[in-house]
Structure 1
């Protein structure tokens, strides 16, 4: 067990909540204590949903543990069915209730309700949220497809439009709402009809119709891979594996759709409306070439972001990783292709250490990487869940398809451009014309207060304020040696921690803030290697020349 203040994924029952909340006509009964009843906040506050998630809790308390908690489960299931009249029910337990071993799924099956009941066995202490969502979706699809009374008979493709299911988008997924709209438009642009989108917006009756389509699109492998694989094995439905994030991936996606559906996608690829390739060919893009970027998040978005950063924006990927162990193999393969070792960890402290050591100029990650980047003074863009409410925009803001490429371009490039602007402001903050007290350049210089009151001109520079009392003088005199002591100690251990001179620090301040940390570390490392005790301006430039070879 590990005590932490941040987790990238919740327990698996949160994944089950995401599936239930994504759909209509489904209700989830969760055997859980009062402290685990936080689903409303997850979906209404973070995702800004206009309705509460369809979850009923047993909410047992400490005093109930001495009695029959199983009876609470039966009562909650019965009441939920009578009140909400769902088309299907999910029944599971939270990580706390798992310790009681009440087996709520078995209790629900024994009630013989007139609707399909899906018991969920989600081990909370070995699996996490995305796995729980994947398993819940898989078992729900298997249960509903199993209620079909007639076999699936598909008409030949000749003379009709191919049909496709879009699998994987869920509540609390990163930009899922907008991605569905974009991918639907991509499919329709090549003459493919979207049959069912699931679990997003689907009902149990829609899941029954899944096998009637000709093929599936696995949009988010963390959620849909297991279900898509089962539909392929059981019902002979091939599925599209390419995730259309980025211009190149969108073209590959359309080609794969064309190969499976037997349609010509050339016109759709040629008509792709995105401004990213134009910028990549422009002179301005040379500013971005070679920018060091570190990528961390869920497997799907990390792999796609790494490819897009390298091939379409000319960034230099210096590190990548994921917290999702189910996607570890794919992320490792993508990292190996770039000559990197992937970081597979859900410990944010390990991630922060890796980011600091790689000295990136841009971080692409989750909400936690945004905090890490802020501490390190590095620009950041969020590309994956978990995310903040500010990453659920009211506007259309996809990650997939042609428009998704435009959105990603803006999200990644603008922090770098603003970084340059902020550096210029820092550079000129002491300039006689642009310092903080200077009036705007389009206005006349303001008259000094002294001149207006006494008619005398103010001195060019005011002396440093003198101490106001003898006590302050005494405190200053006593404090001075104390401040100097660490400097002397630092000189004694100069080989481990060289001391920066005032001129060296001033010159370091002229380096853009988003690479200043890297310059400081490299210079200090160079000074230690050369046995230099004080870092001067010359040392700074010698280190730059050394590491620039």
Structure 2
């Protein structure tokens, strides 16, 4: 753990709460001090939920510190059980309350005696894992619990469905475009003649988990949530899983061909080649658009990519392989998944960055000065300061990344959304330039600032006026090059003479 004002992945309890609140009729009890209870506000705002988020905070206060919290936690569990009548109650501490080293498993066992609902303690190390890892572990724990329970009660599904079927694993609340992706995946499966057995955790009941073994295969669209559950189901029932993210024309086709292999290996007789060709030629606009005169102008342009493993790897491949764009570097904050990420993207970019330090990413962007950034909301903020457009492709996200309209990133409709995002990200710079020429909202004198506070030097009146004459879409680069020139020579003020000297130094 480290102190930071920006985290790409939140603390572990956020991951547990994401999974718990994605299921229907599951309530979460968060054992935490006031201040750790922001999940309710965040979920209600971002997901635009009409109902109250099913999370209750069992507050750790000075009374708890003095007398212990066992009675309070047990009372909160039994109270919510009688008020809400949930199927499952999940108890989770936070990093802060974990310091108390309380025996929460004992609290759960005590509460289970009185409660009608099942009660589980989230089995997560809050000091060692982040939000995404905790989500993955919590989902696997709940699946494991209900598979064992069904086995003991003798009502666990034993046989596969008659027709090919799939479990879609990992769709959750607060996921990046998860709801739209889920709709697109369901449409894709229907087009392939595959029945969706269940989707977990989003919208599923824990009572449905006993039916997971009926599916012919499991589809895990995002590596960050669902792999542990899929591997458990493969170990227990031999159910194969597919973890190819159908994002972009090439990877969507590869995912479908892998589904075909899995189905045919179990006695099915499917051939999806005609479907792939039809979708690529007539449904997805990405294939022809990437070869159009519009996109030819993007060939060789520089871009950088950063995000979670799933989206950063997929976007890197799309940019390099499908759009002909030069990916200078690609990176992920999922350090625990570094080997997989390197294996996926090494041949499609010049450099790899595996870090969760936002300052390293900001400096790397400033160093290469790409034409466009594809990253998280943090990279979008960095891009605004450097006047470099950014397309947001991964969490952490903002309210604008929960669109009301239909915007999946997966499947063939997703390819259309991605092409729009890529193309528009590269062209907005010229739009600013035209606004400046013909008049418009973009009348601010200084567009960009440096990444750190120490990067701003004094500009005298004449130099500032000269800088304002530079077209908007290159002004940031001129400003940064001039300031770099001045710092290297120990100058504190930038004059016209310094500007001209810097221009000569870079051969402009």
TM bracket (short chain): 0.7 to 0.9
Q: Which residue of 2 aligns with 1:264?
A: 271
Deviations 1:268-300 (A, max 9, x none): 212211111121111121221122111111111
Q: Distance between the aligned counterparts of 1:313 and 1:509, measured in 2?
A: 33
Structure 1's 500 and 246: CA in aligned 2 closer, same or farther, altered over 3 A? farther
Segments of structure 2 that go 5 or more residues without pairing to the other structure are 265-269, 444-456, 490-495
How many residues align? The count is 477
Partner residue of 1:326 out of 331, 336, 347: 336
Q: Which residue of 2 aligns with 1:316?
A: 326
Segments of structure 1 that go 5 or more residues without pairing to the other structure are 437-496
Alpha-carbon offset, residue 335 of structure 1:
4.0
Alpha-carbon offset, residue 381 of structure 1:
1.1
Alignment of 1:282-431 (within 5 A): 282-427=292-437
Alpha-carbon offset, residue 86 of structure 1:
1.4
Deviations 1:142-182 (A, max 9, x none): 00111221454335x8xx42010000111000000000010
Q: Is the 8 A contact 1:130 1:222 kept in 2?
A: yes
Structure 1's 9 and 542: CA in aligned 2 closer, same or farther, altered over 3 A? closer
Comparing 186-195 and 519-528, the one that deviates more: 519-528
Q: Which residue of 1 aligns with 2:165?
A: 163
Q: Is the 8 A contact 2:29 2:57 kept in 1?
A: yes
Q: Which residue of 2 aligns with 1:135?
A: 137
Structure 1's 54 and 105: CA in aligned 2 closer, same or farther, altered over 3 A? farther
* 2:109 maps to 1:105: no
Q: Distance between the aligned counterparts of 2:425 and 2:231, measured in 1?
A: 39
Q: Distance between the aligned counterparts of 1:261 and 1:169, measured in 2?
A: 22
Stretches (4+) displaced over 6 A: 499-505, 523-530, 536-539
Deviations 1:297-316 (A, max 9, x none): 11110000101111122211
Q: Distance between the aligned counterparts of 1:333 and 1:504, measured in 2?
A: 47
Q: Is the 8 A contact 1:526 1:543 kept in 2?
A: no
Give the secondary-structure state (helix, strand or coil) at the position aligned to 1:198: strand
Q: Is the 8 A contact 2:383 2:390 kept in 1?
A: yes
Structure 1's 311 and 511: CA in aligned 2 closer, same or farther, altered over 3 A? farther
Q: Distance between the aligned counterparts of 1:43 and 1:5, measured in 2?
A: 20
Q: Which residue of 2 aligns with 1:47?
A: 47
Q: Distance between the aligned counterparts of 2:464 and 2:92, measured in 1?
A: 62
Q: Which entry has the higher C-alpha Rg, 1 or 2?
A: 1
Q: Is the 8 A contact 1:293 1:364 kept in 2?
A: yes
Partner residue of 1:181 out of 167, 180, 183: 183
User: What's the TM-score once normalised by structure 2's chain length?
Assistant: 0.86
User: What's the TM-score once normalised by structure 1's chain length?
Assistant: 0.80
Q: Which residue of 2 aligns with 1:476?
A: none
Q: Which residue of 2 aligns with 1:254?
A: 256
Q: Is the 8 A contact 1:504 1:535 kept in 2?
A: no
Alpha-carbon offset, residue 332 of structure 1:
2.5
Q: Which residue of 2 aligns with 1:224?
A: 226
Alpha-carbon offset, residue 257 of structure 1:
1.0
The root-mean-square deviation of aligned C-alpha atoms, in Å, is: 3.0
Q: Which residue of 1 aligns with 2:22?
A: 22
Alpha-carbon offset, residue 502 of structure 1:
6.5
Q: Is the 8 A contact 1:8 1:346 kept in 2?
A: yes
Structure 1's 258 and 505: CA in aligned 2 closer, same or farther, altered over 3 A? farther
Q: Distance between the aligned counterparts of 2:347 and 2:425, measured in 1?
A: 27
Alignment of 1:61-80 (within 5 A): 61-80=61-80
Q: Distance between the aligned counterparts of 2:484 and 2:4, measured in 1?
A: 32
Give the secondary-structure state (helix, strand or coil) at the position aligned to 2:28: strand
Give the secondary-structure state (helix, strand or coil) at the position aligned to 1:146: helix
Alpha-carbon offset, residue 386 of structure 1:
1.1
Q: Is the 8 A contact 1:165 1:217 kept in 2?
A: yes
Q: Distance between the aligned counterparts of 2:467 and 2:94, measured in 1?
A: 56
Q: Is the 8 A contact 1:20 1:53 kept in 2?
A: no
Deviations 1:223-249 (A, max 9, x none): 111111111111100011210111111
Deviations 1:390-448 (A, max 9, x none): 11111111010111111112222213222112123335669xxxx99xxxxxxxxxxxx
Q: Distance between the aligned counterparts of 1:297 and 1:14, measured in 2?
A: 18
Q: Distance between the aligned counterparts of 1:175 and 1:242, measured in 2?
A: 17
Q: Is the 8 A contact 1:292 1:362 kept in 2?
A: yes
Give the secondary-structure state (helix, strand or coil) at the position aligned to 1:34: coil
Q: Is the 8 A contact 1:507 1:537 kept in 2?
A: no
